[in-house]
Structure 1
Amino acid sequence: MIAELNRLVAYVEDRLTDDLDVTALATGFGTTEYHLRRMFSSLAGMPLSEYVRRRRMTAAAADVIGGGELLGIAVRYGYGSTEAFGRAFRSVHGVGPGDVRRDGGPLRTQPQLRFRLTVEGNITMDTRIADRPAFRLVGHAARVPLIHHGANPHIQAHIAALPASEHSRLRDLGDGEPAGLLQVSDDVDPDYAEGSELTYLHGVAITDGTHVPEDLDVIDVPAGSWAVFRTEGEYPGALQSAWAATATEWFPSNPWRLRPGPSIVAILDRAPDFSTATCELWLAIERA
């Protein structure tokens, strides 16, 4: 995966002024756009789209300082107007093209990325592969922003709004695996950009034949393989660290890749104040 990501960076660099066909590139690498984007975001700390924008504006800054018509520069980098180009330029550099042309800066450069894998073996990942038939996830769903670190207050508010009796009803309804009350993230932006919206469902897994009450939301999950990572410790810190380690440690070392599908967290045990917890993180995978 590290080699493919470096080839992706080189591909971006060669086509800073062209449209990028990431789907075709991923196919040529023998992987999928979904997996390539998710791994890039996890390891680079930014979405691929954001990296491309920063690199384009880094290159465009040299053209702006060098003179030439701003509209021509804007069109060269894929913008239909100087206004749109100016907004993108300002979002990266903090100042407009005119300011940079007059003063020579300030400029915020995005260096070209290089991915390297450091094998330390200091993280033991308790993992199993589960092959599951089709099942359904049912519960209460809401659209919330993605937050990478710390508790998500939007999710907390969504769960807090449910009465205690509803949690009991959901537990009684669940008859499938993953077992227990689940935290489900679905319809996530392929770049996994922080602040992008996802569907969060607080619910349970049921088998295909189980009746679903009309007031519950449903996510149908097709049959497939899952990587199940068990975590113990500070919540949600240990879980988020394990999630990051799947990209840095597990996927580069195993013949699997992510496939589209919900991400599921099952809370197996927790402290009364939820400061610590034992969890299972379920990620949809397929053979690489």
Structure 2
Amino acid sequence: MDWLTRMNRALDYIEMNISGEIDLTEIASQACCSSYQFQRMFSFITDVTLAEYIRRRRLTLAAIDLLNSDAKVIDIAIKYGYDSPVSFARAFQSMHGVNPTTARQEGVALKAYPRLSFLISIKGVEAMNYRIETKESFQVFGIERVFQTSGDGDGPTTPGGLWQQCHANGEVERLTSNAGELPVYLSRDLYKVHAVCSYRKTENDTFPYMLCSFKSDSSKTDGYLEITIPSHTWAIFPSELFTWDQFNDSIESLYHRFYSEWLPTAGYEQVDGMEFEVYGGRNGLNYVELWFAVRKTS
């Protein structure tokens, strides 16, 4: 089953259950990937989160029900997943600009977000730089957190928050000093601290993320979590050189192009969503490489 078929099958599941319970794990299962992986792909391709897309679709259909039926507002609210007319009215007002009762009046302007479909678009965009490398098993060590895909929870709730916390408390500097020499299979202009994601299974709707260093003979790993990365084929996408104030735009562009341009047509698929963010610098500027564990599709 090809990439487009899997992604559109996930959207079919959403539409079939739009007025009922939508299981994020089941959406991902329809696309043959993890929940975290699907939500990342979806947001980078569409520029909207999966939760926001579902919310917009439900409120679009709720407006249609208000216009075309005599159903009570509370019944429509419950149908589309709201447990009270107050929460429904608040969400409806936020999207449509009017409350549900006013929406039934003739001539009131409302908004509609149509169902999405994934297609391959042929565009004359600039070439993507990438390379395919097969690496033997290696080890990394560092500071791990398990995050909820929703971003909820205690402490830093996103990988970005973890980076900020570890910069502030000196953990990044300490990990840098304990990293030792870079292993021989890495470029000499890489920094000492990187990140790896989805390298082991966790509970549904969560994913592991680690600020890590590549282990070498001179590394000091006491007090850190050590993990072994199995042998994989990696699709590696390097950014252009940038200053740190350009970091977000640079890395988001790489993710977006990987998911929307390369992955649908390259004849590869991701392996369990495993990926590295590998950082380096030269000539006073910085760069990032995104390493995606991949395998050829049949």
Bin of the TM-score, shorter chain as denominator length = 0.7 to 0.9
- CA separation of 1:280/1:69 partners in 2, compared to 1, >3 Å: closer, same or farther? same
Q: How does 1:175-186 map to 2 (within 5 A)?
A: 175=183, 180-184=191-195, 186=197
Partners of 2:55 and 2:184 in 1: CA distance: 43
2:290 aligned with 1:281 = yes
Instruction: Please report how far the alpha carbon of residue 250 of structure 1 lies from its aligned counterpart in structure 2 after TM superposition.
Output: 1.6
Partners of 2:85 and 2:49 in 1: CA distance: 25
What is the CA deviation profile of residues 62-119 of structure 1, one whole-angstrom value per residue up to 9, with x for unaligned ones?
Answer: 2223432122112222333323433432343344323434586443321222333223
Partners of 1:153 and 1:283 in 2: CA distance: 22
What TM-score results when the alignment is normalised by the length of structure 1?
A: 0.73
Contact 1:99 1:105 in 2 (8 A): yes
Percent identity reads 23
Tell me the secondary structure at the aligned position of residue 234 of structure 1: coil
Partners of 1:164 and 1:50 in 2: CA distance: 34
Give the corresponding residue for 2:148: none
- CA separation of 1:64/1:198 partners in 2, compared to 1, >3 Å: closer, same or farther? same
Give the corresponding residue for 1:137: 141
Instruction: Please report how far the alpha carbon of residue 57 of structure 1 lies from its aligned counterpart in structure 2 after TM superposition.
Output: 0.6
Give the corresponding residue for 2:174: 166
Give the corresponding residue for 2:257: 245
2:66 aligned with 1:64 = yes
Partners of 1:180 and 1:271 in 2: CA distance: 14
What is the CA deviation profile of residues 101-140 of structure 1, one whole-angstrom value per residue up to 9, with x for unaligned ones?
Answer: 4586443321222333223463232222334426233148
Tell me the secondary structure at the aligned position of residue 212 of structure 1: coil
Tell me the secondary structure at the aligned position of residue 244 of structure 1: helix
Partners of 2:172 and 2:48 in 1: CA distance: 38
Q: Which amino acid is the alignment partner of residue 194 of structure 2?
A: Q
Contact 1:136 1:220 in 2 (8 A): yes
Of the structure 1 ranges 132-141 and 76-85, higher mean CA displacement relative to structure 2 is found in 132-141
Contact 2:139 2:228 in 1 (8 A): yes
Give the corresponding residue for 1:194: none
2:132 aligned with 1:128 = yes
Instruction: Please report how far the alpha carbon of residue 253 of structure 1 lies from its aligned counterpart in structure 2 after TM superposition.
Output: 1.8
What is the CA deviation profile of residues 174-201 of structure 1, one whole-angstrom value per residue up to 9, with x for unaligned ones?
Answer: 658666423316479xxxxxxxx98765
1:265 pairs with 247, 259, 277, which one? 277
Instruction: Please report how far the alpha carbon of residue 260 of structure 1 lies from its aligned counterpart in structure 2 after TM superposition.
Output: 4.0
Instruction: Please report how far the alpha carbon of residue 12 of structure 1 lies from its aligned counterpart in structure 2 after TM superposition.
Output: 2.8
Instruction: Please report how far the alpha carbon of residue 234 of structure 1 lies from its aligned counterpart in structure 2 after TM superposition.
Output: 2.5
Contact 1:186 1:262 in 2 (8 A): yes
Give the corresponding residue for 2:242: 234
Partners of 2:218 and 2:172 in 1: CA distance: 26
- CA separation of 1:234/1:68 partners in 2, compared to 1, >3 Å: closer, same or farther? same
Count of residue correspondences: 270
Partners of 1:165 and 1:79 in 2: CA distance: 46
What TM-score results when the alignment is normalised by the length of structure 2?
A: 0.71
Q: Which amino acid is the alignment partner of residue 181 of structure 1?
A: K
Instruction: Please report how far the alpha carbon of residue 46 of structure 1 lies from its aligned counterpart in structure 2 after TM superposition.
Output: 1.4
2:264 aligned with 1:256 = no
Give the corresponding residue for 1:193: none
Tell me the secondary structure at the aligned position of residue 143 of structure 1: coil
Tell me the secondary structure at the aligned position of residue 252 of structure 1: coil
Q: Which amino acid is the alignment partner of residue 61 of structure 1?
A: A
Partners of 1:201 and 1:22 in 2: CA distance: 24
